[in-house]
Amino acid sequence: MSTNDALLQRYSDSVLGVFGVPPLVLERGEGCYVWDVDGRRYLDLLGGIAVNALGHGHPALVAAVSRQVATALHVSNLFTSPGQIALAEKLLQISGAPAGSRVFFGNSGAEAIEAAIKLARRTGRPGIVAAQGAFHGRTTGALALTAKAAYREPFEPLIPGVSHVPYGDADALRAAVDATTAAIVLEPLQGEAGVVEPPDGYLRQAREIASDAGALLIVDEIQTGVGRTGAWFGFQHAGIIPDAITVAKGLGGGVPIGALVTFGDEVSGLLRAGQHGSTFGGNPLAAAAGLAVLETIESEGLLAHSTAMGEHLARSVRASDIDGLTGVRGQGLLRAITLREPISAAVAAAGRAAGFIVNPVAPHAIRLAPPLIVSEQQVTSFVNVLPELLQEATR
């Protein structure tokens, strides 16, 4: 029995099985590569599901976290730290938030959504409109906004007042929003649904619908934010100003952190002292990591690189004319390669055997969310092996 298999047996015997049994025990990483406990190397084209924005072991992130661990690992949110203040200021700057905007720090995307739900409730209205296909997390509040029945039904009843409309259908959204609606919550791209893109203009229409009804527009940037789509945040492609955004995943580069950014004085004033909190959120370690990630993306030009590598991937796949592929969706380095047959799990397994980590996000779609530092040669190496992976998956 390999070391990998022996450890997975121990995992099965000791860890609650909410994730099923994983296929690999990963031990270390460097750049865009990770190694399992048996020493096999994989090109990481998933990046911890869009978390490892700078890849593995980036010197800037390692140095920032190491310095902070030696200085102050944690202080309670009864106090603050220079890094927490600097990270909040940086998030407000890169999101283009107007004067009066503010940041709340938690530990995850789900916590950011929980804060967004409480923000919506503070309008005094009961309703939240989300989209079919949406994924906003699995804590019980966030789960009410998540659409997938298999995630929801074992835990119903969930919080009341949440409805779901077809994603990308502005007419359906307008019909669902009225004077009882506190907030519309949408993703710029639906990552967990298979990197599904809305029609052009959808977010602008959502902005108008929310404003007409006096409701908040909250954009979930947990997966799409921090440069993933080639802009700092996905909403910026649409040229709108939301009322709030949720951020997590890539923000800490692997160190847990989430954030709710509220836009403007009026929205920021909805949550007051004592109405929300977090023990670990935005602590010195997480803040140091977040600052290092954002400053490195800026200094290394990774927004433009994300756009260029995403376009290279899409062009290469389309030009390859591989039998069994039907297209490429997404923006920047959040992409799905779509399949004619529902064989994504088999393709992902063939990928691992060939040294590539990809995600079978839907039966007909493979999701790619590599580190923003991924090179053209690394992207090409995956496209070149795709025919072999599809052949292996259909045997």
Boundaries of every domain in the chain? 3-57+301-393, 72-300
- Rounded to two decimals, the pTM is 0.97
| Binding-site annotation: residue ranges for N(2)-acetyl-L-ornithine | 138, 278
Task: Quote the mean pLDDT of the chain.
Answer: 97
| Binding-site annotation: residue ranges for pyridoxal 5'-phosphate | 109-110, 135, 220-223, 279
Q: Which residue has the higher pLDDT, 321 or 73?
A: 73
User: In the CATH hierarchy, which fold is given to the domain comprising 72-300?
Assistant: Aspartate Aminotransferase; domain 2 (3.40.640)
- Model confidence pLDDT, tens digit, residues 331-383: 999 999 999 999 999 999 999 999 999 999 999 999 999 999 999 999 999 99
Q: 57: exposed, middle or buried (C-beta count within 10 Å: 0-12, 13-18, 19+)?
A: middle
Helix (H, G, I), strand (E, B) or coil at 29: strand
Please determine, for residue 114, whether its predicted confidence score (pLDDT) is greater than 90: yes
| Binding-site annotation: residue ranges | 109-110, 135, 138, 220-223, 278-279
- Model confidence pLDDT, tens digit, residues 155-203: 999 999 999 999 999 999 999 999 999 999 999 999 999 999 999 999 9
Please determine, for residue 395, whether its predicted confidence score (pLDDT) is greater than 90: no
pLDDT at residue 321, rounded to an integer: 87
Reported as type and span, the H/E element at residue 316 is helix 302-320
Q: Exposure string (b/e) for 14-31, b if CB count within 10 Å is 16 or more?
A: eeeeeeeeeebbbeebeb
Pairing of strands 244-247, 325-331: unpaired
Please determine, for residue 207, whether its predicted confidence score (pLDDT) is greater than 90: yes
- Model confidence pLDDT, tens digit, residues 4-35: 999 999 999 999 999 999 999 999 999 999 99
- Cα–Cα dist 331/380, whole Å: 17
Q: What share of the chain is helix, strand, coil (3-state, %, to 5)?
A: 45, 20, 40
Mean pLDDT throughout 258-271?
98
pLDDT at residue 223, rounded to an integer: 98
- Model confidence pLDDT, tens digit, residues 239-249: 999 999 999 99
Residues with a catalytic annotation lie at 135, 220, 249
Strands (E), the chain: 26-30, 33-36, 41-44, 102-106, 127-131, 162-165, 181-186, 216-220, 244-247, 258-262, 325-331, 334-339, 356-357, 359-362, 365-368
CATH class of 3-57+301-393: alpha beta
Mean pLDDT throughout 296-315?
98
Q: 274: exposed, middle or buried (C-beta count within 10 Å: 0-12, 13-18, 19+)?
A: exposed
From the list 311, 337, 312, the residue with the least C-alpha distance to 326 is 337
